[in-house]
Amino acid sequence: MSFLILNKTKNSYARIGQLSTNRGLINTPAFMPIGTYGPVKTLSPKDLNDVGSQIILGNTYHLYLRPGIELIKKIKGLHNLIGWKKPILTDSGGFQVFSLAKLNKITNDGVFFTSNIDGKKHFLTPQLSMKIQKILGSDIIMSFDQCPAANIETIELNKAIKRTELWTKKCHEYLSLNNVFKESNTHFFPIIQGGTNEKLREISFNSIQKYTKDGIAIGGLAVGEDKNAMFDIISYLNTIIPNSKLRYLMGVGKPEDIIEAVSLGVDLFDCVIPTRNARNGQFFTWFGKINIINSKYKDDLKPISENCKCYTCVTFTRAYIRHLFKINDTLGLRLATLHNVYFYMELMKEIRMQISKDSFFEWSNKIKDLISSKV
């Protein structure tokens, strides 16, 4: 087994695990910063290493369109292109096709869409998604799935589940025929769909579980549904997904939501929140969120967070960082991103430590409200 559970808590489903990949071990629970086009915006690989990132996420849809697969093939993979030596998970492109591109037609063979960048027409199939991810050199390849919008009719959810099953089968067949599983310790994660409907989630899992070895993804959440309904579904999945499988909750990334999801057995996360919010001047701290643009920070000579050991906090004041944002200097974006990614890595370390001490349940109840507050 490539995924091992090392420790569990008594009062929740939270656990510590370890996933082995070609490029190193990933200690879970873990969070993946997002490198949409390869790089995590404003940060270098050295920055990511310095703050403790174990793995990043690349976006198949965007990388397929820019810079294009030929360049990545020429340089022998995304790792070489961006100078990152640790693991990379690549999503399949399905979510972006359904959310960003102009859809022309969905068939059982794939999706016809028009690029949101230059208006060119493309046909993305499960096999092409796998081919792209193979060229990218992904350590964790995501299955191509149909991600339905929140609160759609049950009949449409059923269609998405059946198509996701078919596409997952095609993905797995392509990877098997091309010796991806034999040649390396590359992981393939199928994706469970079904919205907030428990019965449909079970049907979806049963239809794709044969294609999962070490991990499975929970898709189709954080797309506009009620948050309590989202957590109810994650909790319900504990009755379906075998304990031995790594659970990856796609697209969920508020600190308080990560803590809650960990308590429900989730091991892996990704989200744009720490990096996107940083570029809008929002800093995450243990005592709440700081919006640095606020006038009250104009003459504030304290660091963003006095106990934080990131480069931003040990070097600069709130007043200076606010000044950078007010004059639109890109250094402000970089310092904010550096801090937020560092904070998220520290958050995951703290979660793992609290689980190891079996104090996660008590700690999480104390920290969730504080961490989500506004300073």
Give the residue numbers marked as catalytic.
Answer: 91, 270
Task: Tell me the DSSP string of 9-56.
Answer: -SSSS-EEEEEEETTEEEEESEEE-EETTSSPTT--HHHHHHHT---E
Q: DSSP character for 295?
A: G
Distance CA 171, CA 179 (A): 13
Cis peptide before 29 (omega within 30 of 0): yes
Angle between helical axes of 154-177 and 198-208 (0-180°, round to 10): 20
Angle between helical axes of 198-208 and 227-236 (0-180°, round to 10): 50
- Could you give the C-alpha distances from 313 to 1, 285, 305, 307, 335, in angstroms and in order? 40, 11, 6, 8, 9
Residue type present at position 69: I
Sign of CA dihedral 57, 223, 348, 145: negative
CA 77-81-86 angle, to 5 degrees, is 75
Q: Which residue has the tokens 């294009």?
A: 68
Distance CA 111, CA 134 (A): 20
Task: Give the H or E element holding residue 247.
Answer: strand 246-249
Distance CA 15, CA 6 (A): 7
Distance CA 284, CA 269 (A): 17
Distance CA 194, CA 145 (A): 12
